[in-house]
Amino acid sequence: MAFDLTLTQAQHDLVARTHDFAENVVRPVAQHYDQQQEFPWPVLQEAARAGFYSPLFYRDLIGDPTGLSLPVFMEELFWGCAGIGLAVVMPALALSAIGQAATPEQMLEWAPQCFGTPDDIKLAALAISEPEGGSDVRNLRTTARQDGDDWVIDGHKMWIGNGGIADVHVVNANVDPELGHKGQALFIVPGGTKGLELVRKLDKLGCRASHTAELKFDGVRVPKANLLGGWDKLEHKLAKAREAEKTGIRGRSATLGALEQTRPMVAAQALGIARASLEYATQYANEREAFGSPIIDNQGIAFPLADLAMRIDAARLLTWRASWMAANKIHFERGEGSMSKLAATEVAVAATERAIQTMGGWGYITDHPVEKWYRDAKLYTIFEGTSEIQRVVISNAIAQKDGDVPLHAEMDPDGGPLNKAFGRGTETRTKMMNKAMEAKDKVPEPVLRGAMKLLQPPSRK
Ligand SMILES: Cc1cc2nc3c(=O)[nH]c(=O)nc-3n(C[C@H](O)[C@H](O)[C@H](O)COP(=O)(O)OP(=O)(O)OC[C@H]3O[C@@H](n4cnc5c(N)ncnc54)[C@H](O)[C@@H]3O)c2cc1C
């Protein structure tokens, strides 16, 4: 499907309903959950009742071939509050990893357990990072070994959203440490499994409504059915990895794949924070007077806001493109997913900082939400791959693509063969137009109009 910026009626309605939810359910309680650092259970229930908390909802969003449903939903929800937003969407991150690795039967079994029902909310977590390293996922130390009909997991995980309170933990562990990241596999560890310990809930700078924890896995035993993808697939993957070790060919890990897919999703969340800040700062600058006129009359206030408006729109375009690419299974060969995450998260930090500066002393205190948005935004240049890691991905990708044409030049053309002969800029079309111009004084006007119509290029649709 071609990339198109026009929203469908259903997407328009989704934006309106999500915005209404963010404005009337999320924002009124955002400060409370931030200050108390409390998990927003009632908001999750409301989200589930509104239809925003279920695996089928995400299946619908991810299955949308335009790719736009997912980012527009994320942007509106996170416009409300990023901490609460994270609590609401955390199971979707776990679901994305399950979706990439699981068999259809496993998907059917675990997806509903990631969300539960409005009257019985369940939570899910994606546990990848470890104290010794989050960026370097090739170097994770948690292990899984087979023992009879079970897998036994030992290790230590850090910064895990919903960690220890989740009903479903998707955990990656090394089954063959000699193979590095190619020896990793994903396992389901249900909440309450013996040996799974919530060491501590982490005290955070921002996004404080979300629960983030340190976890230990001490001889955690799960049945072999909890290996995502199953044994045959893992054995095949390990055999290929061993072969690749011998030949020196480098491969991709399921964990890295999951992160790549979720980057536009995270980018759209950051856009929600950025847009909220720009709106708030602009409104304040229009109303606040200093030296006899609104402060927005000063270019020192107005120009940084103009720059932010431009950067937010540019980041949204990158995000929508990456999301459309993911929906249409076009690989991020030039680092397009990382570009969207890098642009959106960095502009979120810049927009929140500028909102505080625009509001002066009022921006620095908790009477207004911008100090909270500033704290929330900072997380976005750190998790799901830091800004530096996005730059590593992009620079590696462009180095590999050195000398290649840009994405749009590589993609199959749209619009049919007539475009080749009569499309804009073709020789035939130019000649015909010139002839028409020469003849214009000799030909009656209705005939001329008809001829001009004929010269229109074939429709795209
Ligand atoms: C609130 C919060 C929630 C999180 N939620 C989750 C979650 O749900 N699940 C999960 O698995 N993880 C989660 N994380 C972990 C997060 O993904 C990691 O913190 C992140 O990937 C960075 O890893 P690190 O903290 O170990 O930093 P490090 O990897 O130690 O990096 C430290 C610094 O070095 C830089 N650096 C590292 N390598 C390079 C390089 N090659 N080139 C240039 N610079 C480099 C980094 O950019 C960074 O600035 C969360 C983190 C936070 C703070």
pLDDT value at 268 more than 70: yes
Residue 59: its pLDDT value, please? 94
pLDDT at 421: 84
Task: Note the pLDDT of residue 76.
Answer: 98
Query: Residues 335-360: pLDDT tens digits?
Result: 999 999 999 999 999 999 999 999 99
133 ligand 1 Cβ < 6 A? yes
pLDDT class for 404, splitting at 50, 70, 90?
A: confident
CA atoms within 13 Å, Cβ hemisphere of 117: 2
Span from the CA of 135 to the centroid of ligand 1 (angstroms): 5
Domain 252-411 carries which CATH code?
1.20.140.10
298 C-alpha vs ligand 1 centroid, how far in Å? 39
Q: Which residue has the higher pLDDT, 258 or 163?
A: 163
Q: Is the CB of 382 under 6 A from ligand 1?
A: yes
Q: Higher-confidence residue: 438 or 323?
A: 323
Top pLDDT among 249 and 276 is at 276
pLDDT tens track for 166-194: 999 999 999 998 888 889 999 999 999 99
Q: Is 135 in the pocket of ligand 1 (CB under 6 A)?
A: yes
Q: Is the pLDDT of residue 368 over 70?
A: yes
Q: Which is the catalytic residue, given 76, 336, 346, 384? A: 384
Mean pLDDT of 375-403: 94
Lowest-confidence range among 195-204, 314-323, 368-377, 439-448? 439-448
Q: Does CATH place domain 123-247 in 3.20.20.10?
A: no
Share of the chain above pLDDT 90, in %: 78
Decide if pLDDT at 258 tops 80: no
The alpha-carbon radius of gyration of the chain (Å, integer) is 26
pLDDT tens readout for residues 413-441: 877 788 888 888 899 988 888 887 888 78
Residue 63 burial (CB count, 10 A)? 10
CB 388 near ligand 1, within 6 Å: yes
Can 46 be counted among the known catalytic residues?
A: no
Q: Whose CA is nearest to atom 37 of ligand 1?
A: 135
Q: What is the DSSP letter of 22?
A: I
Dihedral pair phi/psi, residue 54, rounded to 5° = -165, 150
Question: Look-up: residue for tokens 């259970």?
Answer: 41
In three-state secondary structure terms, 138 is helix
Ligand 1 midpoint to CA 134 (Å): 4
Smallest CA-to-CA distance from 172 within 248, 109, 256 is with: 256
pLDDT over threshold 60, residue 254: no
Q: Contact, 80 vs 18, CB < 8 A?
A: no
Q: Which residues of 146-157 are buried (b: 16+ CB within 10 A; e: fewer)?
A: eeeeebbbbbbb
**Average pLDDT taken over every residue of the chain:** 93
Return the domain boundaries, the chain: 123-247, 252-411, 417-454
**CB-based contacts of 377, cutoff 8 Å, min separation 6:** 82, 206, 270, 273, 274, 277, 345, 348, 349, 351, 352
Q: What is the pLDDT of residue 16?
A: 98
Yes or no: say if 267 and 321 are a contact pair by the CB < 8 Å rule.
no
The tokens describing 402, both together, are: 């050195």
Question: Lowest mean pLDDT: which of 68-82, 134-148, 248-262, 313-327?
Answer: 248-262
pLDDT of res. 251: 54
Confidence of residue 302 (pLDDT cuts 50, 70, 90): very high
Average pLDDT over residues 260-275: 93
